[in-house]
Amino acid sequence: MITRTSRFRVGGSLWASGVSIGACVVALLSATSAQAAPVEAAAMPESGRKPVIAARQPLPAPTAPEAVEVSGIRRAFTHGAAQHLPDADTRLTAERLTERGVVDLRGLEYVAPNLTVQTINGTASTNFYLRGLGFNDFTQNNMGPVVTYVDDVAFPYSTMASGLMFDMADVTVTPGPVGTEHGQSTTGGEVKLRTNDPTDTFHYGASEDIASYARSRSDAYVSGPIAHGLSFRLAGQVRQGGGWQTNPLNGAHLGDADSWALRAKLKWTPDARTTVMFSGHVVRDQSEVVGGVPVARLIGSAPIPHLGWTQTEWSAKDAFTDVIGRRHGLKPSENNWFWGADLHIAHDFGPVTVTAISAFETEREAEFTDQDATAAAQADAYRTIAANSFTQEVRLANSRGGDRLQWVVGAYYQRSRMNQAFPFDYTDYLPARGYMQVSTFGLNQEATSQFGHVSYRLPRNVTLFVGLLHEIDDRGITGLTSRIYGGRTLNFHGENTAAAQFAGQVGVSWQATKNVLLYYKMSKGFKAGGFTANNTQVQAQLDPFRPETVLTYELGLKSDPIPNVLRVNAAAFYNDFHNQQILGTILIPNYGPLSQLTNVPKSESWGFEGTIDLHPVRHVFVTQNIGWQRGNFQNFPTVNRAKTNAYYARTGEWKAINDNFSGVDNGQPKLTLNGQLDWRQAVSHDYAVEFGPNWVYRGAQAMTPGGTGFYRLPPYFLLGAHVTLRPASDRWQVTVYASNILNRQYFTSGGQATTTYLYIPGSPRFIGGRVSCGF
Long-range pairs of 80-85 with CB within 8 A, sequence gap ≥ 24: 83/515, 83/517, 83/558, 83/559, 83/560, 83/567, 83/569, 84/511, 84/517, 84/558, 85/517, 85/558
Q: What is the DSSP letter of 160?
A: G
Strand pairing report for 168-175 and 230-241 = unpaired
In the chain, % of residues over pLDDT 70:
90
Number of Cα atoms under 13 Å in the Cβ half of residue 550: 32
Q: In whole angstroms, give the CA distance from residue 115 to residue 117.
A: 7
Helix, strand, or coil here: 647? helix
> In this model, does residue 134 exceed pLDDT 90?
no
Asked whether 586 and 594 are in contact (CB, 8 A), the reply is yes
The pLDDT of residue 66 is above 70: no
pLDDT score for 400: 85
Share the mean pLDDT of the chain.
88
| Beta partners for residue 687, in sequence order | 727
pLDDT of 52 reads 34
Per-residue exposure over 272-289, b if at least 16 CB sit within 10 Å of its own CB, e if not: eeebbbbbebbbbbebbb
In this prediction, residue 646 has a pLDDT band, given cuts at 50, 70 and 90, of confident
616 forms beta bridges with: none
What is the mean pLDDT of the segment spanning 102-107?
93
pLDDT tens digits for 345-361?
A: 999 998 999 999 999 99
Q: What is the pLDDT of residues 412-464, one digit of tens each?
A: 999 999 999 999 999 988 887 889 999 999 999 999 999 999 999 999 999 99
Give me the pLDDT at residue 22, please.
Answer: 52
pLDDT tens for each residue of 242-276 = 999 999 999 999 999 999 999 999 999 999 999 99
What is the biggest distance separating any 2 CA atoms in the chain, rounded to whole angstroms? 81
May I ask the CATH architecture of the domain 13-774?
Answer: Beta Barrel (2.40)
Query: Cβ–Cβ contacts within 10 Å for residue 487, how many?
Result: 9
Closest listed residue to residue 330, CA positions, set 378, 376, 292, 370: 370
| Residue 735: closest CA among 220, 209, 232, 345 | 209
CB 504 within 8 Å of CB 526? no
Distance CA 450, CA 445 (A): 17
- Domain boundaries in the chain? 13-774
| pLDDT score at 731 | 93
Whole-number Cα distances in Å, 482 to 198, 321, 371, 522: 49, 19, 19, 45
- Each residue of 524-570: pLDDT tens digit? 999 999 998 878 888 888 899 999 999 999 999 999 999 999 999 99
Distance CA 49, CA 450 (A): 50
The model's pLDDT over 286-338, given as tens digits with 9 standing for 90+, comes to 999 999 999 988 776 668 888 898 999 999 999 999 999 999 999 999 999 99
